[in-house]
Chains A and B, each alone.
Chain A
Amino acid sequence: MPNLETTALIATYSAMGVYTLSFILFAVDLAGRAATNGTPKPTRWLPSAMALLWLGWGVHLAATVVRGIAASRVPWANMFEFGLTATLVLVGVFLGISVVRDVRFVGAFVTGFALLSLGIVTVNFYVAVSPLPPALQSVWLVIHVMVAVLGTGFFATGAALSVAQLLKHSSEDGKLATPSWRFLAAFPKASELESLAYRIIVVGFVMWTFTVIAGAIWAERAWGRYWGWDTKEVWSFIIWVLFAGYIHARATRGWRGRPAAILALVGFGAVVFNYAIVNVFFKGLHVYSGL
């Protein structure tokens, strides 16, 4: 009988397996759309892709919960756990939005990104359950990191839609006319993708605002100051400012459309950088990677 920690790891790998199948089906669906004559429509593979994604997400959820139980605390106290929970929330946000709106056409982007992140996190950042140092023993660990994870999930979904938007812009301009890009015809119009991406990113922005505020309140209690330009604080600020720029760009002629989408992707690039690079290679007070 493996212990809880091992069970969580096995479940994580299982979730990755199911996500892989789901990703393949999403990709097959896009390829199938490209191959059809006339207006591309979703293929018969799409429902299976979605079903597998729900299944994979269930396993992923179980893995995360079991990891939390194994550690007797919230499952986001080091980089591996943050990545585990953040990808869970990312896929969850995507699934949640797909209940309300048909966003399945970006399924391949979302599952691909989630799979890649989860793989990198599990292979490179895995650490065994270890006790929490005094500085992390705070209710703010629950609040601050949870909103950060949620915000990241929304930014990631917004980024996937922005990629789709950029492709669609090119397609609407008559570029990407080769048969392999035909699936783009099944996408909504670029302007619709833009407004959808915008609304999702705005939710992410609100959550990021709360992340920074909760972080500042915690920093005041733990380190004696609410803001000290620690490397992680610098990057959280950069992310906030970039997405503030995006929100303004959305309302400004000359910035709508492509430039705004690029700004959204740059912002999401900063989110990924803040997690993957700043944690590991930069010096600072947010030393929680556990590596």
Chain B
Amino acid sequence: MASPPRSNRDLQPEDLNDVALDFDSPEAPRKNRLDAPIRGPQLGPFEFLRWSWRLLTSMRTAIVLLVLVAVASIPGSVFPQRSSDPNGVIQFERNDPELFAVYDALQLFDTFTSVWFSAIYVLLFVSLIGCIIPRTIHHWRVLRAAPSEAPRAWNRLSVVRTIPFTSNSETALETAEKALRRARFRVVRDGNSLRAEFGYLRETGNLVFHIALIGVLLSVGFASGFSWHGQRVIVEGQSFTNQLSSYDSFTPGRWFDETNLDPYALRLESFVPEYVRDEAKGAWTPVDFTAEMLVTDSTGSSEQTLKVNSPLSIVDSKVYLLGNGYAPVITVRDPDGNVVFSQPVVFLSQDSNLTSIGVVKVPDGLSDQIGMQGFFYPSAVELDTGALSSNDPEPRNPTITFNVYKGDLGIDEGRNGNVFQLPTDDLTQLAGRHTGIDVVLTPGDVFAIPGRIGTIEFSGLSRFVGVEIRHDATQLGVAVSIAFLVAGLLASLGTRRRRVWVRASPDKKSLEWGAQSRGDDPGLDVFIDRLTAEPAGNPRGKVGA
């Protein structure tokens, strides 16, 4: 009868060089990956290079590099990154300039583009390529070759069975061959024996997975040069045309060219947020943001709805809804009543009830240049301290307070400065906080600037949205690579590489079956039992898997 089945798990590490685990790639390519002892450098520069290469492409080095990549990523989550949290970096610099300089020199704020991180992943990918190429060549040969000969150490195979037959050996072998073919094995007949193999997909999938990783890296590396993105604030009723000068901020890729921007226009028809009271927290939380946009491109105009999680696709770019807020309409008149400034001014929200701050600059038309710092409260309530606060994000009692300054706004020197900042060091305060002259405006209210300079009116209220427009050239390449990666991973992990040998016993009364899998395969003996038990019928179940 059958000798007791041996399991891979009984093998000690010393056995790894043996037929048992190593059969699918016995030649050189595997050796440096799995088992070859890495010796110290030998004589001569060529040998040294060869030794370095083998060290780099060894699996042990790959594991160490993988762990290093993981460890080297940690700073990317501990320190604010310029790529994902630029404000955090600025904040860090402000808080501790000396420590900032040290960390910055170590590139801790640019972890994923830093020299040290790049060095590790470049080594990892070189190691990967150095492994893939010989393995691909080897696997290509294996795919075109017949299943290999039975090992001499027959009894060391994982599963060994002796099955007596009643007919002659020829019929028994033919039946066995049919059963193996039904299980989708590749079978070769050699006189009185069969050799069969299944599961080439395991290595194919493995190689596809690793090549796809390189695909991801190449897609990101090369295509990102053609990517671009920019931000723009659009007030209700206003339009944006897709050209470089229209953006508030713009980040081009290395190979960006202004002609890449497709001509189209966006107009914000309306923006409607929806808030509900979260009783648990006693605060208002947004449950919906809906922006109705009029999109005009070469094919005509259409109304489209822009929401969070639902970007607009226009030609080869996408429009995302990233922010929103209030834009009170401020009208400034000279003492004779002539309008010198009238437009919605974007106020940036500071809290969940949309208390917002904004800046109005009126450089021309009045006797002095006027600058104003404003606070906007959608639903103003007076606190015990006398200060104002907002208790609702909806405009139930919209109120603006201003600090009004006169002096040189610095605009004439051609420096526009930040539209959201008003440096007041060189300005003279005329009204507002600490002056005894409060400027508190509700819609329709008019305030006369002291010194007969002019008047300020809170003449209307609009909303704005902040949109980001992006063209990401890496997406297609990465998506295709990832699809291959997943397919390769599933194929590789879901396939068992099995070899089966069948031979007539010397007494011609039974067939000897031997089977071996690559890697753990606890189901191998059950599989062989099923294969040998029903040589004529259909093996039940998914025998090949």
Contact = CB atoms under 8 A, between A and B. Distances in A.
A211 B360 CA distance: 46
B35 A133 contact: no
Contacts of B34: 251-253
Nearest to A189: B9
A130 B309 contact: no
Interface string B271-308: 00000101111000111110000000000000000011
A252 B88 contact: no
Contacts of A189: 9
Interface stretch (B66-74, B141-149, B159-167): B66-74
A218 to B, nearest CB: 8
B280 A130 contact: yes
Contacts of B520: 195, 198-199
B287 A134 contact: yes
Contacts of A230: 84
A248 B286 contact: no
Contact of A224 (B285, B288, B468): B468
A130 B322 contact: no
For B76, B288, B485, B522, the residue with the greatest tally of chain A CB atoms inside 10 Å of its CB is: B76
Contacts of A256: 13
Interface stretch (A38-46, A175-183, A236-244): A236-244
Given A131-B276, A224-B318, A224-B470, A229 B63 contact: no
Contacts of B519: 251
B275 to A, nearest CB: 9
B242 interface: no
Contacts of B285: 130-131, 133
Contact of B66 (A221, A224, A244, A283): A244
For B84, B287, B486, the residue with the greatest tally of chain A CB atoms inside 10 Å of its CB is: B84
Nearest to A202: B493
A223 to B, nearest CB: 7
Given A224-B322, A283-B80, A238 B73 contact: yes
B80 A223 contact: no
Contacts of A191: 9-10
A37 to B, nearest CB: 28
Contacts of A135: 308-309
A11 B278 CA distance: 24
B184 interface: no
Interface string A202-232: 1000100110010000101111111011110
Interface residues of B, number: 60
Given A130-B278, A223-B320, A251-B59, A242 B70 contact: yes
A248 B77 contact: no
A245 B278 contact: no
A143 interface: no
B489 interface: yes
Nearest to B520: A195
Contact of A132 (B76, B280, B287): B287
A234 B81 CA distance: 11
Interface in A243-259: 244-245, 248-249, 251-257
B280 A242 contact: no
Nearest to A198: B520
Interface in B508-526: 519-520, 522
B307 A237 contact: no
B493 A206 contact: yes
A129 interface: yes
B43 to A, nearest CB: 26
Contacts of B63: 245, 248-249, 252, 255
Nearest to A231: B77
B533 interface: no
A278 B84 CA distance: 16
A138 B309 CA distance: 7
A199 B494 CA distance: 11
For this complex, into which size category does the number of interface residues on chain A fall?
35 or more
A127 interface: yes
B214 to A, nearest CB: 15
Interface string B325-354: 000000000000000000000000000000
A248 B62 contact: yes
B400 to A, nearest CB: 27
Contacts of A127: 280
Nearest to A247: B493
Interface string B3-40: 00000011001001000000000000000001100000
Given A221-B309, A224-B229, A229-B76, A283 B489 contact: no
B9 A192 contact: yes
Nearest to B14: A253
Contact of B311 (A132, A134, A137, A221): A221
B490 interface: yes
B335 to A, nearest CB: 46
Contact of B67 (A195, A198, A245): A245
Nearest to A285: B84
B108 interface: no
Contact of B60 (A221, A254, A263): A254
Contacts of A209: 485-486, 489
B85 A283 contact: yes
Contacts of A255: 60, 63
A171 B70 CA distance: 31
A195 to B, nearest CB: 4
A128 interface: yes
B59 A252 contact: yes
8 contacts: A133-B286, A195-B520, A195-B522, A220-B475, A238-B73, A248-B59, A251-B519, A253-B16
List the 7 closest pairs (A to B, CB-CB), nearest first: A128-B280, A245-B66, A134-B308, A224-B320, A234-B77, A231-B77, A191-B9
Given A235-B77, A244-B66, A283-B88, 11 more contacts: A128-B279, A132-B287, A137-B309, A206-B490, A206-B493, A209-B489, A224-B470, A230-B84, A234-B74, A241-B69, A253-B34
Interface of B: 9-10, 13, 16, 34-35, 59-60, 62-63, 66-67, 69-70, 73-74, 76-78, 80-81, 83-85, 88, 111-112, 229, 276, 278-281, 285-289, 307-311, 318, 320, 322, 468, 470, 472, 475, 478, 482, 485-486, 489-490, 493, 519-520, 522
